Structure 1
């Protein structure tokens, strides 16, 4: 236990024992649980509190705090609303710290004080126990009389300065006899006592808190007691300073005077009567009542009137010259105000001022009407949040308190553009000032002030905003304001409905999407040619064809700008078209020369080619070009070309016929006609092959659907039975000299007719090509070689030289 200086320089005696009460991370810690303080002084009670920072995903916040000593309907009564403490109680807080300050302590303030806090969590209320026990007391002088007392005096009396608060042993005491300071530094004092003597004591350094004066002998003595040790009043107002006095002798004179800060008045034999002081001329009255009570009244107070005032009397040969403190007057500017305090039963009103603690002469107003019967500093009636309330003391009236009016939520005029600076302002008239809460799309925002500032507003900030204004009287809500952040289109993206290959005949949708506000208009392009304009953001192909292949992109546009998407390649896959077959060279070819059979078909992906000869079970060759390096009569016959990819296959046939010399002229005519047809087909296919689309989709020329395939190992797909082969039959005639005419159709076997009928049943077309030679050949059979050119050969005449020519 020690002696501690409380805030304001007053003495507080503490039992320094910390107590922690906790439950599931909830707790209150009191710095001390027992405090003893002097009457008239001030005291501070300290504590800290804690609570879970987050419960069930909700951040915890403290909404209400209070100190209390008693309950009403099982609810704590906030000390600030208790008339007993009106104007004498203050709360202060730091980070999870709580302090209660009580000024002008009275013995009735002795009680157990507890702290309570309320959070936003369901059931999140906590009261700290056991609280702080405060004992308020003063000094008393005890007189222990000796046995040598006579009727008018005691030879010696022992005096004891005591307090219910145990004082430190090193404390130094001050003794007063008949209001005059005398020698003595300990708690005990021995003196020769007369019947008119009075005594008082105090602790050194705190003379402003002396004990009441007591008579050293008997029940009547010379003494002065002040009603208040300190008084505060407003400038321009009036104040009454009162004291009681007594003497066992007849009093001949009395007066009020003002002590100077230098205390020189103590040594003045005759202090100046205030009624004769020019500073107080016309402003001072002394009111006397029966029972020895004197009241000094000062009107039209100024700050210069702030001082300590004393009462003095003279009784025959006795002169009261008090070293004891009188009444200290402080004159300040008016600060009358109504304090609104939340309680579980509704808002409470207290007329508060730093000067008027403990006063009862108040007037309350509801709107502009005086409320009869309400004279206490605490308003005890019902508070209607729709009305205004104020209080008055003498001629001074507080500002009214009222709930917040409906807040006005303002946003900048005109369009709100992305990346611009935007401020939303919520304003409401309220007293006490309102606290603001912001909401976006009905979700609480962390902003608590009157403004939300966006240094660079984004589209994600678009939404419906509103705010609430709240004080202890009520909460009101603003109208909704929609923030619509405008911006030019962002880079569009093009998506294709099909994630797999795009097959001819399938349904395909191209979608262009671009973030923009207002919504963008779209324009579609294929190879920079406009396809579609307007609001439509899709292109739909119900049955896509190879002609739809190409490079597509879209453009999105609104009033604030336009932007193009990246390109997307639409590559439509399809099976081989009906192959075109040809023979080269187209000029007359000498027997034994090389003959090329060429097969071409448009397909995506590019087709592979396989050659078959009638009546042979295995493929004759693979690749787009089949080369016979040493052409002989036995090479005559029907040849098939099959073009195949994973989407399907098509076949065409070529017939090489050996013609007699008589047929030579006719064959030449047929060959010429066939040559012209092949040239036309080749030109058309080559134009098709060189479309710009293929260059753009593949970053170069896409593998040609008709590209030459070199001869190599024959694939399994090429080894189908002849019955499975389909295609068009092209006839070629080879003409020999007359002595070899018997070789005509020599290699045509009956099986060919059967296969021909099967192929025709598949609705394949047959093309006829004629190759003619001048004679039969006894050369070896055909040889197969790979050919590296992607060429379209024409028909040729194979001419055999005279066998007898050397």
Structure 2
């Protein structure tokens, strides 16, 4: 048989290796062969026989790699080689041809000769060891602008092997290496010249990475959440995770394909993105918004106007709380079951003494609810002045002391007004002094006030 003209053929043309026994011998041309996956291997050998054997006495010759029950198995009967193996002899010269070789074909191949005499056979051993390798493109940076691509195999191919390079399926060059620009988005592969087999896997820079969140991009505070970055690339890409919305410098979080939150918190809310990079290029993913659901934090209350106001004026209370989803708001007056108002803003128009008391707001969403601190609005003074005092988690006794202090101040002011008809020298003394009992109350309040939770008086 002549070698196939359609593909690369590996011929074995090295120093003969001779195995002989009682005049029998097989001369393999080479004992170790390296072939690229998809190519055709062509093995030749010569055999000798004892002088008393006529060539016609040799009734059969075949090649094998396996034995069954101690007997060699003809390659043509092995299903793994079906349609890919042919062999034959011309006189004392024999050959073996394997087309479209696979990595599973890596094995030791031997020739067996059988005569007309029952049980008489001879096997040339050791045989020929075939190693089948796939081609790979190795990438090496030449300088800041260029990359050098080299066609590589795991075993040493024939010195006569030539390589062909492909760019996006188009044949562009012959040679062992190829220079390409850094950051190229093209795909490069190589093959043996004349081979009908498979090319090497193509190398290329990362495509735009995709990002995903598991279980989802909207989760509950305390959940375990994993963000995954993936990109089609060869060689495989390296990944980096960042947090940022593109308006400022992003914060580097991880250099792994996955970003894991074992217990996600409300502070983790925000935009995330990843990059994928290999020797040929770098790409950035789209942003993914992580929404963490959590109940309202303790609401804060603001008052407008913030200064003292007169009876009949309007006062506007505003409640706000950090929450996701956004909270709804309800306003209450202490010791009343029915709410005074709903919504973030509560306005009291035409304020009178009846409106005096403690107010608070409640923020609520599907995750929970939270109440603000008390807001004391009291009308005091003969001039109808209204005072607003924030009370922050104080014990009831302290609240009562504050009310008594307010009363003392009011009494003092009243006394100061009445003293305007007295001699001028006593006016300043009256305004500067508190009643002794009020001084005691002031000291008690100061002692019981939590230093970390000070009142906010408006």
**TM-score interval (norm. to shorter):** 0.5 to 0.7
Following superposition of structure 1 onto structure 2, how do residues 23-422 of structure 1 map, counting pairs within 5 Å? 238-242=10-14, 256-257=16-17, 272-274=26-28, 275-276=46-47, 300=98, 303-305=106-108, 331-343=130-142, 344-356=144-156, 360-371=161-172, 374-380=173-179, 385-393=184-192, 394=195, 395-411=197-213, 412-413=215-216, 415-422=218-225
**In structure 2, what is the Cα distance between the partners aligned to 1:699 and 1:720?**
29
Aligned runs of 1:651-690 on 2, under 5 Å?
Answer: none
Determine the C-alpha separation between the residues in 2 that align with 1:280 and 1:454: 60
Q: How many angstroms apart in 1 are the aligned matches of 2:365 and 2:253?
A: 34
8 Å Cα contact 1:363-1:370 kept in structure 2: yes
RMSD: 4.8
- Aligned-partner SS, 1:273: strand
2:324: which partner in 1?
517
- Name the structure 2 match of 1:749: none
Shift of residue 368 of structure 1?
Answer: 2.3
**Change in 2 beyond 3 A, CA 1:550/1:355:** same
Give the Cα separation in 2 of the matches to 1:701 and 1:383.
77
Runs of 5+ in structure 1 lacking a partner? 1-235, 244-255, 260-264, 287-295, 308-327, 578-601, 605-693, 710-714, 726-806
Measured in 2, the distance between the counterparts of 1:368 and 1:380 equals 17
Match of 1:71 in 2: none
Give the C-alpha shift of residue 548 in structure 1: 4.0
Match in the other structure for 2:334: 527
State which of 224, 230, 244 in structure 2 corresponds to 1:427.
Answer: 230
Gap change, CA 1:503 and 1:517, over 3 Å in 2? same
Q: CA deviation at 1:420?
A: 2.0
For the residues of structure 2 that align with 1:285 and 1:352, how far apart are their CA atoms? 35
Which protein, 1 or 2, shows the higher relative CO under an 8 Å CA cutoff with sep ≥ 6?
Answer: 2
1:279–1:472 CA distance, 2 compared to 1 (3 A): farther
525 and 330 in structure 1: CA distance in 2 versus 1, 3 angstrom threshold: same
Q: What do the CA deviations read for 1:683-729 (whole angstroms, capped 9, x no partner)?
A: xxxxxxxxxxx99941798479599x9xxxxx99998764779xxxx
- Aligned ranges 1:433-448 → 2 under 5 Å: 433-441=236-244, 442=246, 443-448=250-255
CA contact (8 A) 2:276 2:283 kept: yes
Bigger-Rg structure (1/2): 1
- Using the TM superposition, give the Cα deviation of residue 391 of structure 1 relative to its aligned residue in structure 2, in angstroms: 0.9
Conservation of the 8 A alpha-carbon contact between 1:410 and 1:424: yes
How far does residue 427 in structure 1 lie from its aligned partner after superposition?
2.1
TM-score normalised to structure 1 length: 0.33
CA distance in 2, matches of 1:481, 1:437: 14
CA contact (8 A) 1:347 1:383 kept: yes
> Matched residues in 2 for 1:549 and 1:695: separation?
19
| Deviation of the 1:514 alpha carbon | 1.6
Mapped partners of 1:527, 1:498: distance in 2: 22
**Counterparts of 2:231 and 2:386 in 1: how far apart (Å)?**
76
The separation in 1 between residues aligned to 2:350 and 2:397, in whole angstroms, is 24
- Aligned pair count reads 319
| 1:74 equivalent in structure 2 | none
TM-score by length of 2: 0.55
- Taking a change above 3 Å as real, the CA distance of residues 268 and 452 of structure 1, as seen in their structure-2 partners, is farther
Q: Equivalent residue for 1:661?
A: none
C-alpha displacement at 1:524, in angstroms? 1.4
Counterparts of 1:432 and 1:397 in 2: how far apart (Å)?
16
What is the CA–CA distance in structure 2 between the aligned matches of 1:453 and 1:439, rounded to whole Å? 13
How many angstroms does 1:554 deviate by?
A: 0.7
